[in-house]
Amino acid sequence: MTYYSLNRKAPETTFKDAVIRGLAPDKGLYFPKEISPLPKAFFATIAHKTNHEIAFEAIKQFVGTEIPEPILKSIIEETLNFNFPIINLNDQISILELFHGQTMAFKDVGARFMARCLGFFNRNNNNEVTVLVATSGDTGGAVANGFLGVKGVNVVILYPSGKVSKIQEKQLTTLGKNITAIEVDGVFDDCQDMVKRAFVDTDLTSTMQLTSANSINIARWLPQLFYYLFAYKALKPKYDDIVFCVPSGNYGNICAGMVAQKLGLPVEHFVAANNANDAVVRYMDTKTYNPKPSMATLSNAMDVGNPSNFVRIQELYNNSFEDLKSHLSTFSFSDTETEGAILELFNAHNYIADPHGAIGYLGAKAYLKKNPKAHTVVLETAHPTKFLDVVKRVIQNKVEIPVQIRAIMDKPKSSIKIATYKELKALLLES
Ligand SMILES: *Cc1c(COP(=O)(O)O)cnc(C)c1O
């Protein structure tokens, strides 16, 4: 499969090269040159396929021959080593739980897939690759966990000091080995800016192979399309057309769902639900894209002022505002509304949601107001215990802590504090 840069000033390249580079040399995001719909029979017979078979069929064309089929199959099996249950709240709303993996957020899917692809590409290479990644909360843990112990790969994670939850911080600062956590005095956008600067800093790129593991990397972004297909498989007997409601920050997850739609998945509509960081909501209202610095909210993994993947979404809909508008609705919700939704889900449905999933639920309700016949599927992107303080305070009830989380609670944190890009650069050069 050939990939091109969305800035269109870099040469086209292979899956392998795009995965290793992360970002194209012209700083553009990579995008597949062609997306061929899957055969109609694939969707007609989906009920008889396993999740691993579905994922393999769906991702095959994006990888091409660069990973041999048996290896790609085992990468998929190792990536998808957990379940994706659907909870039916009522005739209008189902919840797709994406948090049953190692770090209890959907990012485990992309991180595990990417780590294994990179490990394969790097298998005979004596030069180490450094994965540099900025996290607003969940990426860090998923990437750290996915890459832990992968040969020939060092991982450096930047996170905004004091702006991730306690458990999120534990997940990325307690692993050691090939994982280094850097605590930045600033917000997520500062971390992301430092990462972007490092990728174009020739002092660094001439001495080391840097790559990213943010959703800008195609190997993290694309496998996220898998569970949209799983949801279709589970709901097909009852609901033909689904509306997916995706709590969105960097817009990688929802954009992967849109790729699934290009593959032929019947999707009635997409809803992107945002917190106060609403650059895309304002764009859809005004046709003017005017990103702002990110603001801290209860749903911190969505505190993104300038969503990187939005350019991919525009490309998918041929850069046509009208086309996009007919496929995507967007809403923004405050922290107070988020708390209200957590409480409502608990009281009315006995369901404990995390703040991100709660925003997805609000998005579904907003969409249903105008489209009462729709069936919406809310993507619950993280386990509620990752945001224990908020959830406990709101529902005034105990939340059971799963084993994955209990295992890291008492481990000592280890991080390096920095405030400037200069400090990051010095650290990378000395390593
Ligand atoms: C990362 C994350 C999001 C946002 O996903 P994007 O792909 O950045 O839009 C939403 N919820 C949780 C729990 C996350 O970790």
pLDDT in tens, 174-227: 999 999 999 999 988 899 899 989 988 999 999 998 988 887 899 999 999 999
Q: What are the C-alpha distances in Å from 141 to residues 165, 274, 335?
A: 11, 22, 24
Phi, psi of 423 (to 5 degrees): -65, -40
Confidence of residue 126 (pLDDT cuts 50, 70, 90): confident
Full domain range(s) for residue 306: 84-104+221-400
Nearest residue to 36 via CA among 313, 315, 230, 262: 262
Report if residue 260 sits inside a domain: yes
Q: Residue 128: pLDDT band by 50, 70, 90 thresholds?
A: confident
Asked if the model's pLDDT at residue 423 lies above 80, the reply is: yes
Pocket of ligand 1 contains residue 248 by CB under 6 Å: yes
**Ligand 1 centroid vs 363 CA: distance in angstroms?**
15
DSSP 171-209: HHHS--TTEEEEEESS-HHHHHHHHHHHHT-HHHHTTSE
Q: Would you tell me how many other CB atoms lie within 10 Å of the CB of residue 417?
A: 10
Q: Does 180 reside within a domain?
A: no
- Rounded to the nearest 10°, the torsion over CA 330, 334, 339, 344 is -40
Is 208 contained in some domain? no
In a domain, 333, yes or no: yes
Question: Could you tell me the pTM of the whole model?
Answer: 0.94
Asked if residue 359 is part of any domain, the answer here is: yes
Cβ of 135 below 6 Å from ligand 1: no
CATH number at residue 381: 3.40.50.1100
Average pLDDT over residues 7-11: 97
Taking a C-beta distance cutoff of 8 angstroms, is the pair 164, 299 a contact? Answer: no
C-beta 284 within 6 A of ligand 1: no
Q: What's the gap in Å between 23 CA and the centre of ligand 1?
A: 20
Which atom of ligand 1 is nearest to 354's Cα?
13
Q: Using DSSP bridges, classify how beta strands 2-5 and 13-14 pair: parallel, antiparallel or unpaired.
A: antiparallel
CA distance 171 to 404: 10
Tokens for 268, please give them.
């009635």
Ligand 1 pocket, residue 215 CB under 6 Å: yes
171 lines ligand 1 (CB under 6 A): no
CA dist list (Å): 115 to 47, 56, 147, 273, 394 = 29, 17, 5, 29, 36
Domain count, the chain: 1
Q: Is residue 295 part of a domain?
A: yes
The CA 302 to ligand 1 mean position distance, Å, reads 6
Q: Would residue 96 count as lying in a domain?
A: yes
- Specify the pLDDT at position 395: 96
Within-domain flag for 191: no
Q: Residue 138 CA: which ligand 1 atom is closest?
A: 15
